[in-house]
Amino acid sequence: MLSTVLNKIRIRRLRILWIVMGALLLASVTPLWLYHRQALRLSEEKLEDTERVQQSEITRLLASETLQFEQGLRQQLLSQRQVLAITGWIENVDDPTHAPQLSRLLEDFVENNPDILFVTAVSREAKGPTAGKVSADRDPFVDAALKRAFQASYQGFDSISEPFAEGQNNRPALVMSVPLFADGQYSGMLAAVVSLENLQSRLRDMSVRDRTVYIVDGHGKIVAYPDGQAMVPGQNVMSISPLAKQFGELPQELRATQTTSFVIQTPDKHHQVEMIGTYSTIPELRWAVIAQRSLDDARIDAGVTELTSEALQFVVGVTFIALLLGYLFAVRITHPIRRLVESTRAISRAEFHERVPVSGVAEISELAETFNHMAGDIEEFIEKLKAAAEENRELFIGSIRMLAAAIDEKDPYTRGHSGRVAKYSTILGDYLSLSAEELDRLRVSALLHDVGKIGVDDRVLKKPGKLTDEEFDLMKQHTVKGANIMRPVAQLKDVLPGIELHHERMDGQGYPYGLQGDQIPMMARIIAVADTLDAITTNRPYQSAMDLDYALERIRSLAVTRFDPQVVRALETAIHDGRLRLSAALMEV
């Protein structure tokens, strides 16, 4: 009985083996027989197909990057317009009373945006402050583009100018603008001269192996070209580029990627060059990214003849290996592999406890054992990742605490100040029904609210007496300095309002921007109350520490004018409930 079963298994094994080996042999020999007749043609077709795919991928990628580049810059302009609206400057950007602040705002905008060469905010009379690395008065292209942008803004439209060559190096540039409105009425324009050098650099990166990649607009004019000396921005190539001509004939709103073959004349007009090219449109900008390459250069670069010989050797080798592998692995692998597939699917569903029964031939058994080890390692690694994530969070909070303590240590009178302000702020935020995520951001912002004092001269910071007006102006800079210090850290962008605006007042008499009422974020309003509470209840060079009742009465008297009444009521409730108490030592947050 047992021998009969073994014989059946052995017969089945031989049948599977011969079927697999026969199929692999047929699949290997047939291509070899056809190869001698069609190898070269297939290689050339494959080369052209590969070039088509590569050009399509390159042009789509660059079209997406170009659109993201434009949208990012436009969003930055819109953000600046929002700042002007919040500050109230949008009503008359040419008002001399806020000219210094507006100029500084524009200068910061240019400094923080390397792609911005020049920015201007003008009123209805086309007058206003400017900032940047170029001058519209000296460059006629910039001046003309700005005038056209002003006309579009006057009609209520955002605009992007035609490309032009800016400066002596002919760097590609254009003008982007957005209109300004105050109470629904046109009040001016915010415009920027944008450098396209980053796009030009990406074009150079993609223009390899005799391939040329460039960007044109709907009129067939060069937007950016990898070699700025060969093609100047604004140069019309409609007559020499069939791809640019095809793109110019398309409907403006059409998004498409098209690859085509065409022929161009050599400069001496004695020969024709067979080309393959692709364009991908950017309908939002009415631009297109074009990639083109000579097929002769592609064939030489690819070494089609050498590939033919190497491909024949490769097919022979693959045939031998396929037969060998078919003999070694075709027997009794279906069931164990099916179990492996099921277990792999379980692992993909995060069921890391799943294991594979170890059975079958030696290779499959080893594979099952390796899989089980891998599953165990993954399960252990996931747990370690969770623990590491929690450790990283604690390390982050600890680093923030140490930074806050280092700031407080600069002045013996403010030792522990940041920690106490963070503690008070968190309690107030809890009474104001902030979410756990908002409380976490509030705590970090409060810990760092005085980080800008790092940049304040110790002579001013530690002065025992009253500050002079000049010294107080220096001290007031710590809010903006703190925000600028932390702004490069992307993870801290949500805590910047508390750092930069905690000295703003509800009546608009605060600093650094004179915001008032709801213009001040809730985070900054909370920290303002907590900061004042700690200042009153601790010893300072200009006063002795007061008790909690006096501090509450003092803060209550400044509600509406200086502090948000809602936050003051939260402070009263916290003190009444006994949750907010004074401590001489730094409270852990």
pLDDT reported for residue 75:
92
- Local structure of residue 216 (DSSP, 8 states): E
Q: Please enumerate in sequence order all residues whose Cβ is within 8 A of that of 500, keeping only pairs 6 or more positions apart, or say none.
A: 479, 480, 482, 483, 512, 524
**Residue type at 155 in one-letter notation:** Q
**Residue type at 313 in one-letter notation:** Q
Distance CA 433, CA 134 (A): 49
Coil, helix or strand at residue 54: helix
Domain that holds residue 207: 45-317
Q: Please enumerate in sequence order all residues whose Cβ is within 8 A of that of 204, keeping only pairs 6 or more positions apart, or say none.
A: 226, 227
Instruction: With respect to residue 17, please indicate whether it lies within any of the assigned structural domains.
Output: no
Could you tell me the CATH number of the domain that includes residue 240? 3.30.450.20
Rounded alpha-carbon distances, angstroms, from residue 305 to 7, 43, 296, 393, 532: 52, 9, 13, 59, 81
Residues 401 and 263 both lie in one domain: no
pLDDT reported for residue 34:
66
Instruction: With respect to residue 144, please indicate whether it lies within any of the assigned structural domains.
Output: yes
pLDDT reported for residue 367:
64
Q: Is 508 left (phi over 0), alpha (psi -120 to 50) or beta?
A: left
Residues 352 and 495 both lie in one domain: no
Q: How far is CA 11 from the centre of its chain?
A: 62
Total number of domains constituting the chain: 3
Q: Mean pLDDT per 10-residue run, the chain (589 residues)?
A: 46 52 65 62 75 90 92 92 90 88 91 90 89 69 88 90 80 91 90 91 88 91 87 87 87 87 76 88 92 78 58 67 63 59 64 59 63 70 71 67 66 71 92 92 88 79 76 84 85 88 92 92 94 85 78 90 93 91 49
Residues 559 and 490 both lie in one domain: yes
Residues 343 and 306 both lie in one domain: no
pLDDT reported for residue 526:
95
Beta-strand relationship, 272-282 and 159-160: unpaired
Q: Please enumerate in sequence order all residues whose Cβ is within 8 A of that of 435, keeping only pairs 6 or more positions apart, or say none.
A: none
Beta-strand relationship, 257-265 and 159-160: unpaired
CA dihedral defined by 451, 399, 570, 559, rounded to 10 degrees? 0
Residues 65 and 172 both lie in one domain: yes
Instruction: With respect to residue 9, please indicate whether it lies within any of the assigned structural domains.
Output: no
Q: Which of 356, 380, 408 is the last residue of a domain?
A: 408
pLDDT reported for residue 230:
83
Q: Which of 366, 390, 408 is the last residue of a domain?
A: 408
pLDDT reported for residue 178:
93
Strand partners, 222: 216
* Helices assigned H by DSSP within 249-361: 295-302, 304-329, 334-348
Distance CA 530, CA 523 (A): 11
Residues 178 and 92 both lie in one domain: yes
Residues 477 and 548 both lie in one domain: yes
Cβ atoms of 529 and 445 within 8 Å: the answer is: no
Cβ atoms of 263 and 274 within 8 Å: the answer is: yes
Instruction: With respect to residue 32, please indicate whether it lies within any of the assigned structural domains.
Output: no
Q: Is 170 left (phi over 0), alpha (psi -120 to 50) or beta?
A: left
Q: Please enumerate in sequence order all residues whose Cβ is within 8 A of that of 412, keeping only pairs 6 or more positions apart, or say none.
A: none
Residues 403 and 420 both lie in one domain: no
Rounded alpha-carbon distances, angstroms, from residue 17 to 4, 8, 586: 20, 14, 78
Quickly list DSSP for 170-210: TEEEEEEEEEEEETTEEEEEEEEEEE-HHHHHHHHHH--TT
Q: Which of 408, 428, 455 is the last residue of a domain?
A: 408
Cβ atoms of 331 and 361 within 8 Å: the answer is: yes
As a whole number of Å, the end-to-end CA separation of the chain is: 78
Distance CA 534, CA 170 (A): 58
Quickly list DSSP for 126-154: S---EEESS-TTT-HHHHHHHHHHHHHHH
Residues 104 and 218 both lie in one domain: yes
Instruction: With respect to residue 50, please indicate whether it lies within any of the assigned structural domains.
Output: yes
Could you tell me the CATH number of the domain that includes residue 544? 1.10.3210.10
Distance CA 489, CA 445 (A): 13
pLDDT reported for residue 435:
93
Instruction: With respect to residue 464, please indicate whether it lies within any of the assigned structural domains.
Output: yes
Residues 253 and 159 both lie in one domain: yes
**Residue type at 381 in one-letter notation:** F
Tokens of 268: 């001496």
Residues 431 and 485 both lie in one domain: yes
Residues 358 and 443 both lie in one domain: no
pLDDT reported for residue 587:
37
Strand partners, 333: none
Instruction: With respect to residue 5, please indicate whether it lies within any of the assigned structural domains.
Output: no
Helix (H) or strand (E) holding 275: strand 272-282
pLDDT reported for residue 588:
37
Q: Return the closest-CA partner of residue 240 out of 221, 225, 259, 224.
A: 221
Q: Return the closest-CA partner of residue 149 out of 138, 136, 166, 134.
A: 136
Instruction: With respect to residue 516, please indicate whether it lies within any of the assigned structural domains.
Output: yes
Q: How far is CA 558 from the centre of its chain?
A: 42
Quickly list DSSP for 373-438: HHHHHHHHHHHHHHHHHHHHHHHHHHHHHHHHHHHHTTSGGGTTHHHHHHHHHHHHHHHTT--HHH
Rounded alpha-carbon distances, angstroms, from residue 2 to 11, 292, 361: 14, 70, 19
Q: Please enumerate in sequence order all residues whose Cβ is within 8 A of that of 153, keeping only pairs 6 or more positions apart, or say none.
A: 159, 177, 178, 179, 180, 186, 188, 189, 191
pLDDT reported for residue 485:
85
Q: Please enumerate in sequence order all residues whose Cβ is within 8 A of that of 136, keeping only pairs 6 or more positions apart, or say none.
A: 118, 120, 130, 142, 143, 146, 193
